[in-house]
Amino acid sequence: MHNTQLKAAAQERPFILDPLYRSVTTLPGVGPRNAKLFERLCEGERIWDLLCHLPSDVVERIEVDQLREADSGKVVIVKAKVHKYSISRKRSVPSRIHCTAGDSALDLVFFHAREDYLKRSFPMGEEKEISGTLVYYRGRAQITHPDFFAKGDSAEAFDTVEPVYPMTQGLGHKVLRKAVQASLRLIPELPEWQDQTVLKSRGWQGWKEALATCHNPKARSMLAPDSKARLRLAYDEMLAHQLALTLIRKAQQKAKGRAIQPKDSVLRDKFLASIPFELTGAQKRVIGEIDADMASNMAMVRLVQGDVGSGKTMVACAAMLNTVACGMQAALMAPTEILARQHAESLGPLLDEMGVRYVVLTGRDKGKAKELLLQQVKNGAAQVVIGTHALFQDKVEFQDLGLAVIDEQHRFGVHQRLKLSQKGVSDVLVMTATPIPRTLALTAYGDMDVSRIDEKPAGRKPVDTRLVPKDKLEDMVAGLIRQIREEKAQIYWVCPLVEESEVMDLAAAEERFDVLQSVLGDRVGLVHGRMKAEDKDAVMKKFAAGDLDVLVATTVIEVGVNVPNASIMVIEHAERFGLAQLHQLRGRVGRGERQSHCFLLYGKPISETGKARLKIMRDTEDGFIIAEEDMRLRGAGDILGTRQSGLPDYMLADLSVHGDIIAMARSEAQLIVQKDPRLSSERGAALKNLLYLFNLKEALDYLRSG
């Protein structure tokens, strides 16, 4: 944000919130050097971002007079007297300080510690109060790198219960803890935004007290996601999101949309005649729902949920042609450049045939070529604009944007939706291939009408899914090579993410690529997340053109890639993927004439949940059944894969445990807007503070249109 924008935002913001919007650099121990680490850890550099970084665990220390009172593995506080040093000069051998604690011997163990530091910190003959994890090594008690030590008679007390935070490399726990404690002292007294009867019936504290409780828990149970303090904070956040969605929804219902209803059906007839297949009943039904929305004077905000390969793109195309027939522009936005270009490749010939002018605009376009594209968008020469989120940028001006189609809604949150509305578009159609359980759909899509395409195009053969233990890998590879040579089969081979495989013992994509290349030579390609977009595109193009037999990939191929000739999908370590991800990946095959197969390779031992997940994949291809089962098996929190969901990116709430209070927050938000549509009451003013806290202030702009 530029300085002028920052100043404008600060002027609008309620003054009472200012302490929470200060930079963490105003806190003790946070300087320019470690500010970036705080920002990375807390995903923001405000004091409020730091307060939302809650502890993930606690250390519970027990005070003991004699070591035999504590079991191995416990964190203890004990008084110990130094009587001997064993200083090591070798890096691989630790130094030891031999002590007596009560009537037992105790060694303090240090790796890579300097002699002068050890002797200064633990003088001979002095009694120290020491805290750390007690273990027994060859029958002798020891504590490696004590986490605290102080003089035996020192007034400095240990916390018997201390919170443990998720950390980032380079930032010390003490520095973080000190900054959090300083932040807690800065929290202003804000007027209560929750209904008193809700607080009373749930036994919840005030907001400020709940934050203090979470950062200073007296026991591990106080940190549990279903503890009263955590529930209170989670509910605050959910109420903020539901209130924002309700305000947006209300304004959209009032907003004068434009009736987009072609005078004749010439373009629609041409479209239906030029596609080489009959639309399914579900596609026809959903197109009818969209036509009705667009024909009304109300703004359309409709979500189309359709399983992989159910034909959502054709539905979107029909809607875009409606808009073009009325002399307006339509935009189609995809989450990645690969997908944007793929949409252009599949829709381009169709649009050309109907005489509809289109352009493709992504972040990769530069210089004069980009200027020319932007001009065509601005003067209306481009009737359909296909691109990535680059279409949100201020530089992109449309002559008259009637419809925006967003592909893969789960990369497109409330903030992007608000930004899009500033482009003056009245009708928005969003599409997702991620089937979402109905309970969760409320959270992300509370402001939308939902259509489901629950039928596959005729002639699609089910994908034959098989579970293969990892020790049968070589036999399977031999069979696949036969398929490539005899049947000209093309194969996707998916490995878990490259980043993860460096840390964990997962099969890395590069390794698999090398092995397959040694057998198949240069007919094997590799794509992963670290490659430049153009390099990725080049490999994908070779695969799509049939110049590669095997594409080894991380999950970058998960969404939307379309190669009808590819008929085999191999997923390594399938037990480590979420069901929704496995379902998306399997949907890459089964798009052509030939029988397709999906091999789910799993390692042993495999957990019961892992087994159940793979069996569901083998037994059904219905994405909606899979989504419901996924939620049942592992809660909602990770239902759409890590941090990719369109479920709002919550700071304090966790959907896997707080899902049951979504409906409560939704009802409450609807009641608030019904009673106080402009949030002009005393409680309304407090709720405005809440929306600001959770970065949803744009929702307040909708009050002006209310």
In whole angstroms, give the CA distance from residue 289 to residue 338: 30
Residue 196 lies in a domain: no
Beta-carbon-side half-sphere exposure of residue 599 (alpha carbons within 13 Å) = 20
**In the predicted structure, residue 595 carries a pLDDT above the cut 50:** yes
The CATH number covering residue 144 comes to: 2.40.50.140
Residue scoring higher pLDDT (629 or 517): 517
Residue 152 lies in a domain: yes
**In the predicted structure, residue 460 carries a pLDDT above the cut 50:** yes
- 117 by Cβ neighbours in 10 Å (0-12 / 13-18 / 19+) ranks as exposed
Residue 323 lies in a domain: yes
* Residue 438: count of CB within 10 angstroms of its CB: 11
Q: Are residues 308 and 440 in the same domain?
A: yes
Residue scoring higher pLDDT (15 or 159): 15
**In the predicted structure, residue 346 carries a pLDDT above the cut 90:** no
CB 47 within 8 A of CB 63: no
Question: pLDDT tens for residues 686-706?
Answer: 999 999 999 888 778 777 655
What is the pLDDT, as a whole number, of residue 684? 95
Residue 178 lies in a domain: no
Question: pLDDT tens for residues 463-476?
Answer: 999 999 988 988 89
Cis peptide before 462 (omega within 30 of 0): no
What is the pLDDT, as a whole number, of residue 409? 52
**In the predicted structure, residue 506 carries a pLDDT above the cut 50:** no
Residue 625 lies in a domain: no
* Residue 33: count of CB within 10 angstroms of its CB: 8
Instruction: Give the domain-ending residue among 620, 654, 686.
Output: 620
Residue scoring higher pLDDT (658 or 332): 332
Relative to beta strand 524-527, strand 550-553 is: parallel
Q: What is the CA radius of gyration of the chain?
A: 30
Q: Are residues 468 and 563 in the same domain?
A: yes
What is the pLDDT, as a whole number, of residue 502? 39
CB 689 within 8 A of CB 234: no
pLDDT-derived band at 137 (thresholds 50, 70, 90) equals confident
What is the pLDDT, as a whole number, of residue 498? 43
What is the pLDDT, as a whole number, of residue 421? 64
Q: Are residues 270 and 294 in the same domain?
A: yes
Residue scoring higher pLDDT (113 or 2): 113
Mean pLDDT, the chain, rounded, equals 84
Among positive and negative, which fits the CA dihedral 485, 491, 496, 497? positive
CB 595 within 8 A of CB 460: no
What is the pLDDT, as a whole number, of residue 419? 66
Q: Are residues 478 and 502 in the same domain?
A: yes
Most confident segment among 7-11, 52-56, 90-94: 52-56
Q: Are residues 447 and 568 in the same domain?
A: no
pLDDT-above-70 percentage for the chain: 86
Give the least confident one: 79-93, 226-240, 558-572, 574-588: 558-572
Cα–Cα nearest to 294, from 455, 451, 457: 451
pLDDT-derived band at 354 (thresholds 50, 70, 90) equals very high
In whole angstroms, give the CA distance from residue 18 to residue 124: 51
Q: Are residues 474 and 349 in the same domain?
A: no
**In the predicted structure, residue 612 carries a pLDDT above the cut 50:** yes
Beta-carbon-side half-sphere exposure of residue 651 (alpha carbons within 13 Å) = 20
User: String of b and e for 337-359 (b: at least 16 CB within 10 Å)?
Assistant: bbbbbbbbeebbebbeebebebb
What is the pLDDT, as a whole number, of residue 427? 87
Q: Are residues 487 and 369 in the same domain?
A: no
**In the predicted structure, residue 301 carries a pLDDT above the cut 80:** yes
Spatial CB neighbours of 618, under 8 Å, sequence gap ≥ 6: 465, 466, 467, 600
**In the predicted structure, residue 640 carries a pLDDT above the cut 70:** no
Six token digits for residue 479:
């069979």
What number is the average pLDDT over the span 91-111? 92
What is the pLDDT, as a whole number, of residue 656? 65
In whole angstroms, give the CA distance from residue 703 to residue 706: 5
How many domains in the chain? 3
**In the predicted structure, residue 178 carries a pLDDT above the cut 90:** yes
**In the predicted structure, residue 318 carries a pLDDT above the cut 90:** yes
Q: Are residues 389 and 518 in the same domain?
A: no
pTM > 0.85 = no
Structural domain range at position 501? 464-620
Determine which helix (DSSP H) or strand (DSSP E) holds 95, and give its type and residue range. strand 95-101
DSSP symbols for 112-162: S--HHHHHHHS-TT-EEEEEEEEEEETTEEEEES-SEEEETT-SPPPPSEE
Give the least confident one: 153-162, 349-358, 506-515, 608-617: 153-162
Q: Are residues 448 and 474 in the same domain?
A: no
Most confident segment among 78-92, 142-156, 604-618: 78-92
Q: Are residues 417 and 490 in the same domain?
A: no
What is the pLDDT, as a whole number, of residue 297? 84
Instruction: Give the domain-ending residue among 429, 453, 477.
Output: 453
Residue 539 lies in a domain: yes
**In the predicted structure, residue 3 carries a pLDDT above the cut 80:** no
What number is the average pLDDT over the span 320-324? 95
Instruction: Give the domain-ending residue among 164, 188, 213.
Output: 164
What number is the average pLDDT over the span 414-431? 72
**In the predicted structure, residue 382 carries a pLDDT above the cut 50:** yes
pLDDT-derived band at 638 (thresholds 50, 70, 90) equals very low
What is the pLDDT, as a whole number, of residue 501? 38
Question: pLDDT tens for residues 239-282?
Answer: 998 898 888 777 766 766 788 899 988 999 999 998 888 899 99
In whole angstroms, give the CA distance from residue 74 to residue 134: 6
Q: Are residues 418 and 472 in the same domain?
A: no
What is the pLDDT, as a whole number, of residue 636? 43
**In the predicted structure, residue 6 carries a pLDDT above the cut 70:** no
List, in sequence order, every residue forming a beta bridge with 571; answer none if it has no partner.
494, 600
CA angle (403, 696, 207) in 5-degree steps: 155
Residue 563 lies in a domain: yes
pLDDT-derived band at 685 (thresholds 50, 70, 90) equals very high
Residue scoring higher pLDDT (383 or 625): 383
List, in sequence order, every residue forming a beta bridge with 62; answer none if it has no partner.
76
- 665 by Cβ neighbours in 10 Å (0-12 / 13-18 / 19+) ranks as buried
pLDDT-above-90 percentage for the chain: 39
**In the predicted structure, residue 504 carries a pLDDT above the cut 50:** no
What number is the average pLDDT over the span 387-392? 82
pLDDT-derived band at 284 (thresholds 50, 70, 90) equals very high
What is the pLDDT, as a whole number, of residue 412? 56
The CATH number covering residue 522 comes to: 3.40.50.300
Q: Are residues 289 and 384 in the same domain?
A: yes
CB 211 within 8 A of CB 233: yes
Residue 608 Cα distances to 103, 637, 656, angstroms: 47, 19, 19
**In the predicted structure, residue 2 carries a pLDDT above the cut 60:** no
**In the predicted structure, residue 642 carries a pLDDT above the cut 50:** no
What number is the average pLDDT over the span 631-639? 53
Residue 103 lies in a domain: yes
